[in-house]
Structure 1
């Protein structure tokens, strides 16, 4: 397998004047792809601190072809490309449709850091969070 796979559905309102998913809305679709994993699945495993605070440290999005809203889901493959003590980087392959055979239209990366809202500062990942990330999202070992 090699990645965490999820489906997201672009909305009509995500399109720009050219009929493609707008850049800002693509960033939102990336967020929608990772939220179930980092919030719901992590919480189900007893790890609720991601819900309490996580911030995007950096983001890059490379477009290979446009994504057009058709009413269908698009497939998002997510891998863990880097795991550090206080941050981790997710790499995304966004397909133009729901199948692995659909064209890879977007390659993206987000570096995320857990954040302590009460202290108003980033925090380190716990060993349990690191284990969750490395076991649920195949990829880098650090």
Structure 2
């Protein structure tokens, strides 16, 4: 499992004082980018940062997240790994701690993309191993 702390901004709030549904998608992106770009890059896997596209996105809102200046906890796990895509599962807590209420669950299907050829590409064996190791409970 990968854990990210993200801070909702005042501009993420809707008229009801909650994080707007569309802005939650941006917060999910902010949670996964350090994993796929920074951590993968440090592990010798720079291709993720050169091209990764969202193929599918599903978000379930279970409770509101109120913008109060605090970070929220986003837990990311690997749900599925194929040769040309991966599915990340998210649990977004309404505060920074693991015991804070899960307010949002989500999934994204991502595909590595070669921007030079404008085509999807297959995951390398090393990328697949990184994702399996980094995003499973045993690899946490």
TM-score, L = length of structure 1: 0.95
Q: Shift of the alpha carbon at 1:92?
A: 0.2
TM superposition outliers: structure 1 runs of 4+ over 2 Å: none
Q: CA RMSD in A?
A: 0.8
Q: Which residue of structure 1 aligns with residue 103 of structure 2? A: 105
Q: Shift of the alpha carbon at 1:98?
A: 0.4
Residues 58-116 of structure 1, C-alpha deviation per residue, up to 9 Å, x if partnerless?
00000000001010000011110000000000000000000111000000000000001
Q: Which residue of structure 2 aligns with residue 72 of structure 1? A: 70
- The unaligned stretches of length 5 or more in structure 2 are none
Alignment of 1:80-91 (within 5 A): 80-91=78-89
Report the number of matched residues.
Answer: 137
Alignment of 1:125-140 (within 5 A): 125-138=123-136
Q: Shift of the alpha carbon at 1:23?
A: 1.2
Q: Which residue of structure 1 aligns with residue 44 of structure 2? A: 46
Q: Which residue of structure 2 aligns with residue 56 of structure 1? A: 54
TM-score, L = length of structure 2: 0.96
Q: Which residue of structure 2 aligns with residue 119 of structure 1? A: 117
